[in-house]
Amino acid sequence: AQKITQTQPGMFVQEKEAVTLDCTYDTSDPSYGLFWYKQPSSGEMIFLIYQGSYDQQNATEGRYSLNFQKARKSANLVISASQLGDSAMYFCAMRVQTSYDKVIFGPGTSLSVIP
């Protein structure tokens, strides 16, 4: 069965420091996509970054990078130079080839950036 695990319900980081949000996934599908979304207190879901299962390089988008370790089935999000506006819930999600109409979300990690 497909599953996403985020083991950190809450995280704190000092402003300007880097932080890693953990995500592990479980699937037997060889083809899948991994996504990270940010949900600030205003409630909208904002797409951050995507990693494909066949991608050779780790994805990067500005201050966001995805540490993809396929053998360990992990897709951790790294946020560099944290800003106060990064305080939000962060969700890891997965889409698999055999049921690509469905995206499975993890329970989320609440990140608080401390000034």
64 lies in the site for other proteins, by CB under 8 A: no
27 lies in the site for other proteins, by CB under 8 A: no
State which residue, 42 or 115, has the beta carbon closest to other proteins: 42
DSSP string, the chain: --EEE---SEEEEETTS-EEE--EEE---SSEEEEEEEE-TT---EEEEEEETT-SS--EETTEEEEEETTTTEEEEEE-S--GGG-EEEEEEEEEGGGTT-EEE---EEEEEE-
State which residue, 18 or 45, has the beta carbon closest to other proteins: 45
Residues of this chain that interact with other proteins (CB under 8 A) are 31-33, 35, 37, 39, 43-45, 47, 50, 52, 89, 91, 95-97, 100-105, 107-108
